[in-house]
Chains A and B, each alone.
Chain A
């Protein structure tokens, strides 16, 4: 009976869609949604409803970095794979020049996601416990010092932030590394505000806010209006604490100019958050239309440090849209010393607890500060999930290292990659997979007119005009 009713309804709907004028047809939804995009369509409606920027969670859905255009090169005979009885070294030291460097057991750390601004206390504790279990670090995000998080984290990186909540000695002296936060991939360096109505008692306490006071992240760091003031701040924090002091910025086409200042300040590490970076909620324009993709940011920064002879002295940390272990290992191969993961870590954390929220609430309602189901998050189970996930992704990286004939993840480099894109080959210095290594130059010479027809024309004309 149901079958025949459905059949009749579908038949009638199809008939109407074929018969009715296109402009009055329900089917017009399909091409128009296709034109605008389902995400954009909904966000247009949300903006129309509220009149304010839409706080889209978890960052841009656009895949800016062409990670799939890079492939690792396994070895068999000319160089042999690593014997399976040999252990792959996965440890990394962040800020080796610091008086108290930070050594982690795996090259993956938990990204900056603040208590209150982004996540609930339970979620932060679960992240810290998982990180401690596998010997890596977690990050405070732009927040004050959450005592329970500090206690659960064996290695804790804190953000000296534009809200000023971690910027006093009583707080930053409790950190294992200090990350001066000047921007992030999903927000650039724009200001952010959390309304007092979304701030609970525990949040107010950690951020030291008065009742009714909004929490504000300024576009600039308090008391840093000049390059010299930034340099002085870095040196002061290094002298006072001895722990690695680094800089976090949103990746940008001005990258080298920013890194020059960082180099002058003698930072111990630089965190680059690509345009794909996640967030608890940010304006879609900042997520989709601002910044530089992680892949190119890392490549350019590694080249800059190499030119300045800073490779190995200043650690490079990649962040932003790294979801698979393959992408993470590729970031390491391009020159990053370690990577941060945020979205993937959250998904691993709540993996088997999603069923608690579905189908009426999104899974993130278990972990975001304003979520309706944060008290239902099983902290111990979540920490175990994330620890297992971290173990699994590093194991996959190790398997790749065996195939590359490497004994340490630190040894995986650009020479272990080839690319399927001639432009990426030119931009990054990775060899093009289409032709043998010895034919690379010839390939680019012969195909130059195809890639740069105008330039080649101009190039041909130039010698004549010179003469």
Chain B
């Protein structure tokens, strides 16, 4: 008997079950959806953490740029320019983290949505 694409396991978690033909016959790949959701939540919270750190460091670098610019010294002026550029790049990291966190949120919603649909289908079958 073929396994349904999504089924409840013993712990009540939803599982994706994929059938794939391999050299030595049929292989079932099982991905625990709840585990996947947990991982995505972890990644999202870490991304927000990095985003906050990048924002803080960007402000620190900007402050350093302003302080270093006040000296009439060519080497310090060069370092100041690097600090300013670093501040911008950290700002960019912040934006990238936000964009990635949004994508993760999208994935989480998609999984939830798919899971709900499949559960409903399963309930109807039973």
Q: A residues near B, CB below 8 A?
A: 87, 89-91, 93, 96, 101, 103-106, 133-135, 384, 387-388, 391, 394-395
Given A103-B95, A103-B96, A91–B88 Cβ distance below 8 Å? yes
Contact A93 B85 (CB under 8 A): no
Q: Which of B59, B62, B78, B91 contacts A105 (CB 8 A)?
A: B91
Partner of A135, one of B59, B78, B81, B92: B92
Q: What is the minimal beta-carbon distance from A296 to any residue of chain B, in angstroms?
A: 30
Residues of B45-84 whose CB lies within 8 A of A:
58-59, 62, 78, 81-82, 84
Instruction: Establish whether residues A87 and B87, one from each chain, have CB atoms under 8 Å apart when the complex forms.
Output: yes
Tell me the chain B residues, 19-66 only, with Cβ under 8 Å from chain A: 58-59, 62
Query: What residue in chain B is nearest A89 (Cβ atoms)?
Result: B91
- 18 pairs from A and B in contact (CB 8 Å cutoff): A87-B58, A87-B62, A87-B87, A89-B91, A89-B95, A90-B88, A91-B88, A103-B92, A103-B99, A104-B92, A105-B89, A133-B82, A133-B85, A134-B88, A134-B89, A384-B78, A387-B85, A388-B81
Q: Is there an interface contact between A93 and B91, defined as CB atoms closer than 8 Å?
A: no
B81 engages A87 (CB within 8 Å): no
With A91-B95, A395-B84 known, 10 other A-B pairs at CB within 8 A are: A87-B91, A89-B95, A91-B92, A96-B99, A103-B95, A105-B85, A105-B89, A133-B85, A135-B89, A384-B78
Q: Pick the most buried of B88, B89, B96: most chain A CB atoms within 10 A of its CB.
A: B88
* Least distance between B8 CB and chain A CB atoms (Å): 32
Tell me if B's interface is mostly helix, strand, loop or mixed: helix
Q: Is the CB of A394 within 8 A of B99?
A: no
Complex Cα distance A132/B84, Å? 14
Q: In the assembled complex, which residues on chain A have CB atoms less than 8 Å from the CB atom of B95? A: 89, 91, 93, 103
CB-based contact B59/A87 at 8 Å: yes
Report the separation of the CA atoms of residues A444 and B87 in the bound assembly, to the nearest whole angstrom.
46
Question: Once the chains are docked, how many angstroms separate the CA of A59 from the CA of B59?
Answer: 41
Give how many B residues have a beta carbon under 8 Å from the other chain's beta carbons: 16
Report whether A105 and B58 are in contact in the complex, using a CB–CB cutoff of 8 Å.
no
Closest Cβ of chain A to B91, distance in Å, is 6
Nearest neighbor of B58 in chain A, beta-carbon distance: A87
Q: Which residue of B is nearest A104, CB measured?
A: B92
CA distance A93 to B92 in the complex (A): 9
Closest to A105 in B: B92
Closest to A391 in B: B81
Question: Chain B contacts of A103 at CB under 8 A?
Answer: 92, 95-96, 99
A197 to B24, CA, bound (A): 60
List the A side residues contacting B96 at CB < 8 Å.
Answer: 91, 103
Nearest chain B residue, comparing its CB with the CB of A410 = B95
Cα distance, A90 to B92, chains bound together (Å): 8
**For residue B58, which residues in chain A have a CB less than 8 angstroms away from its CB?**
87
Which residue of A90, A91, A104, A388 has the most chain B CB atoms within 10 A of its CB atom?
A91
Across the interface, name the chain B residue whose C-beta is closest to A101.
B99
- B93 nearest CB across to chain A (Å): 9
In Å, the complex CA distance between A388 and B75 comes to 13
- Would you give the shortest CB distance from B123 to chain A, in whole angstroms? 35
Identify the closest chain B residue to A384 (Cβ).
B78
Nearest residue (CB) in A for B62 is: A87
Q: Is the CB of B91 within 8 A of A91?
A: yes
Assess the A387–B81 pair: CB atoms within 8 A.
Answer: yes
Most buried by A among B82, B85, B95: B85
Q: Are A391 and B84 in contact (CB under 8 A)?
A: yes
Contact assessment for A106 and B99 in the assembled complex, using a CB-CB cutoff below 8 Å: no
User: Which residues on the B side are within 8 Å of A133 (C-beta)?
Assistant: 82, 85
Cβ–Cβ < 8 Å partners of B92 in chain A: 90-91, 103-105, 135
Considering the chains assembled together, what is the distance between the CA atoms of A129 and B60 in angstroms?
A: 25
- Using Cβ atoms and an 8 Å threshold, which residues of chain A touch B82? 133
